[in-house]
Structure 1
């Protein structure tokens, strides 16, 4: 278990400018970006026992974070090729 937050800026360090542009120009991307950070913070709080949660719930949050990250990565990739 990692207690290090998985911030998008750390996950995609070479895509920071594209993410900034997409947050402004693409409402769907902005929504996914915000959802990712909300879920990521919940996971971090659970990992550090600030807000303990059941393992099953934490696992579901991790799956949700991965799905959001995958969709964000796809949108970043599409924006790079556009």
Structure 2
């Protein structure tokens, strides 16, 4: 288990400006980014032992984060 946060700026380090711009100018992107951040924080709290849960819940959260990341990546590619 890693306790490393996977914030959008860490996941897409070369897209920081595009992420900021899309968060402001695209409501759908902003919603995806907000959901990603909330899911990511929840995973981080579970992995750090702050919020204990079972492995199935953690696995579902990780799948949700990956799906959100894929959608965000697609929007970043389209905006480039």
**TM-score, normalization: structure 2?**
0.98
Q: CA deviation at 1:57?
A: 0.2
**1:52 alignment partner in structure 2:** 52
Structure 2's unaligned 5+ residue stretches are none
Aligned length: 80
Provide, for residues 12-71 of structure 1, a one-character-per-residue CA deviation record: whole Å limited to 9, x for no partner: 000000001100110000000000000000000000110011100000000000000000
**TM-score, normalization: structure 1?**
0.96
Structure 1's unaligned 5+ residue stretches are none
Deviating beyond 2 angstroms after TM superposition, the runs of 4 or more aligned structure 1 residues are none
What is the aligned-residue RMSD (CA, Å)? Answer: 0.4
In 1, Cα distance between equivalents of 2:43 and 2:19 = 22
